Amino acid sequence: MSPRRRETARHRPRSRFTFALTVLCVGLLGWPTPASALRRLFEPTDLELEEAGVAEVDLQFGVIRGAGSWRLSVPDFEVDLGLWRDLELDLDGALSWEGPDGGAFRLDHLDDDNLWVALKTSLLSFDFVSPPGAPAGERGVALGVQVGPKCPTARSARGFGVEGLLLGAWHTRRVQLVLNGGMLWDPSDGTSPRPLGVEGGLDANLNLDDAGHLALVGEAGGVRFLSHDPRQLTFTAGLAWDPRDDLELSVVGLAGVFEGSDRFGLLVGISPKLRR
């Protein structure tokens, strides 16, 4: 949705596309790790849609203090692939080194999260009439959806789930806001009923320069479970920098409240765009 991220990525070598596929394969692997509590964390998303044939690989690395243990993200990843006009395939997962539930900073096992495979599309968009002399499309609103199955790639997961979001976006030349609202029905962890919850949040982006290369970014997202799972509310804030049109670098801090949320963390991100 953000104008600064609508530009088409320049052609990159095929090896970069191979790297993206390697990251995806790692997220799909069932690593031989001890069974642990599944993370069912909700991160609000934007309504940016990649052009057909363009992929964006969003990787975040960092240290997080979870509700019961420390973990090192290696990485949290999203892969967005443009399939058609206003239609995108999204893959969302995580791989991390995790410590014991007692809270000691001792990373002793590898853990992976369930993989969300979703289609994202825009249902409608509308640009307001710009003032005289202002660029066309300076202000606008849009509505979209993101929906798909939750694959049981976590080691202790059983059965497929599903997650769906309704996305409402508002943007100006400087500010982009995207409201998220939806529901999730996750795979079971094998010992308790499937998690069922209502989720919602806000994704925000404030451009700090006219070219849109530097921005303040932030998210607020939470889940109210209808099943017997702890509620969540998490906030993130940081800076994003685009040194070129096909690359974004970021650093964000994280803080959470309620018993099911991560407590705090620091993440460094890299998001290249790749063209086949």
Q: What is the pTM of this model?
A: 0.83
Helix then strand count (H, E) for the chain reads 1, 13
The better pLDDT of the pair 37, 9 is held by: 37
Give the pLDDT confidence score for residue 177 in this predicted structure.
98
> For residue 189, what pLDDT is reported?
85
Q: Cα separation of 12 and 21, whole Å?
A: 15
Q: Which helix (H) or strand (E) holds 74?
A: strand 70-84
The range of the structural domain enclosing residue 114 comes to 3-275
What pLDDT shows up at residue 136? 62
- Average pLDDT score over the chain: 85
Residue scoring higher pLDDT (245 or 136): 245
More confident residue, 190 or 30: 190
**Residue 245 or 25, more confident:** 245
**Cα–Cα distance measured from residue 215 to residue 1, given in angstroms and rounded to the nearest whole number:** 14
Express each pLDDT in 202-214 by its tens digit: 999 999 998 889 9
Q: For 118-127, 136-145, 191-200, 226-235, which range has the lowest pLDDT when averaged over its residues?
A: 136-145
Mean pLDDT of 21-31: 41
pLDDT at 158 over 80: yes
The domain spanning residue 241 has which CATH number?
2.40.160.40
- pLDDT exceeds cutoff 70 at 31: no
- The number of residues making up the chain comes to 276
How many independent structural domains does the chain possess? 1
Angle at 74 between CA 71 and CA 75, to 5 degrees: 110
pLDDT at 44: 95
